[in-house]
């Protein structure tokens, strides 16, 4: 099993917002999508995911509605709000600035091979 990867504080919110930009998903679907796209590097546990979803909903960045999942079970589906789309853009800009600065400190130039 690969080593655990702890996320920087606030990164989970960005990952959830980006994932929901694709369209409404239930919580388990959000976690699965993040794991799949990250090639199993990022695995979000329920103890982190659901508090983050509730926090984002409280801030008005996502909204939820009950519906049926693919296996016909009741599930809460989350989707971005207009304020959530604005927040996603803001967080993407911050992430780009931060990751570039970290790359400079580490002596790595983005896009260059090591």
Instruction: Dump pLDDT digits (tens) for 10-60.
Output: 799 999 999 999 999 999 999 999 999 999 999 999 899 999 999 999 999
pLDDT band at 71 (very low <50, low <70, confident <90, very high): confident
Q: Which pLDDT belongs to residue 1?
A: 47
d(CA 20, CA 69): 16
Is the pLDDT at 77 greater than 70, yes or no? yes
If you search the block for the tokens 């960045």, which residue do you land on? 61
d(CA 51, CA 47): 7
**78 half-sphere exposure, CB direction, 13 A CA radius:** 25
DSSP H/E element including 75: strand 74-80
Is the pLDDT at 5 greater than 60, yes or no? no
Q: Identify which of 53, 62, 54, 57 has the alpha carbon closest to the alpha carbon of residue 34.
A: 53
Name the CATH topology of 11-105: Arc Repressor Mutant, subunit A (1.10.10)
Q: Which pLDDT belongs to residue 110?
A: 60
């Amino acid at each position: 099993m690969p080593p655990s990867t702890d996320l920087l504080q606030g990164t989970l919110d960005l990952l959830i917002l980006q994932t929901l930009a694709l369209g409404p998903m239930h919580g388990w679907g959000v976690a699965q999508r993040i794991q799949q796209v990250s090639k199993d590097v990022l695995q979000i546990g329920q103890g982190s995911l659901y508090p983050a979803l509730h926090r984002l909903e409280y801030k008005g960045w996502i909204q939820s509605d009950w519906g049926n999942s693919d296996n016909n079970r009741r599930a809460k589906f989350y989707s971005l709000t207009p304020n959530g789309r604005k927040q996603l853009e803001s967080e993407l800009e911050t992430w780009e600035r931060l990751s570039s600065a970290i790359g400079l400190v580490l002596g790595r130039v983005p896009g260059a091979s090591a």
